[in-house]
Amino acid sequence: MAGLIRAGDTPVSDGEVELTAAGPFGDADRAAVYRAIATRRDIRSEFLPDPIDPAALARLLDAAHHAPSVGFMQPWNFLLLRSIETRARVHAAFVRANAEAADLFGDAKQALYRQLKLEGILKAPLNICVTCDRARGGTVLGRTHNAEMDLYSTVCAVQNLWLAARAEGIGVGWVSIYHEPELRKILEIPAGIAIVAYLCVGHVARQHAEPELAAKGWRQRLPLEDLVFEERWGQRQG
């Protein structure tokens, strides 16, 4: 499984450190990267039961393992869940939490919320729980004053996996509606190991042309120009 990603440029020597060229990608490769970003979707219910090819899964995990991490800590673990019995227990926990979540919205939003289908836990052939070992590496370079950097590093691993999955034609859905102690108990995750993401992974017959929550009227993408400041908070560009 290790070593599936390789640098494509010829190494050059710089004293004792080996470096590689850092020029831009060619047009086709660059377009493919941006296409994966633009067409990545949070898949909620459109999963097919077809198993994921082991070689493709190995590539996804290797992509995740090549994420940047604070102090090269690599704090992640990937818990693969295929057993329907285990996933049924997780799904039951989700259903309870989802019912609680629906009650937090007003009438109009609540009606739309209840129409959204979140069936990936059981429909997808594979679930992956991505965790962060917060003690790995002891005192970690770059984390001495910002302790949360290990969690952010693990999120980078999730995003790598997600984009690689899009390139492979595999869908990913991120489940965030559960009580953490309940999921921890089901999966026997020890104290000190943070749960960062619970993912549903599998092939899909189709996906939305735009994010599903936008397509169904939940929320629209914010204008980028409203979110970019220069030099200090709130100061607009030019």
The 10s digit of each residue's pLDDT in 27-83 is 999 999 999 999 999 998 899 999 999 999 999 999 999 999 999 999 999 999 999
Q: Is residue 235 part of a domain?
A: no
Residues 98-129 pLDDT 10s: 999 988 888 788 888 888 878 899 999 999 99
Q: Is residue 87 part of a domain?
A: yes
Residues in CB range of 147: below 8 A, 6 or more apart:
none
d(CA 174, CA 195): 12
Show the domain range for 192. 43-217
Q: Is residue 26 part of a domain?
A: no
Q: Over 70: is that where the pLDDT of 10 sits?
A: no
Q: Is residue 229 part of a domain?
A: no
The predicted pLDDT at position 84 comes to 97
Residues 100, 154, 66, 212: what is their CA dihedral angle, to the nearest 10 degrees?
30
CATH number of the domain encompassing residue 133: 3.40.109.10
Distance from the Cα of residue 159 to its chain's centroid: 4
**What is the number of domains present in the chain?**
1
Output the average pLDDT for the chain: 92
Residues 2, 184, 86, 126: what is their CA dihedral angle, to the nearest 10 degrees?
-40
Residues in CB range of 132: below 8 A, 6 or more apart:
75, 76, 150, 151, 153, 154, 193, 194, 196
Report CA-CA distances (Å) from 153 to 65, 142, 148: 10, 11, 9
Q: Is residue 48 part of a domain?
A: yes
Q: Is residue 67 part of a domain?
A: yes
Q: Is residue 143 part of a domain?
A: yes
Q: Over 90: is that where the pLDDT of 141 sits?
A: yes
Does pTM top 0.85 for this prediction? yes
Q: Is residue 118 part of a domain?
A: yes
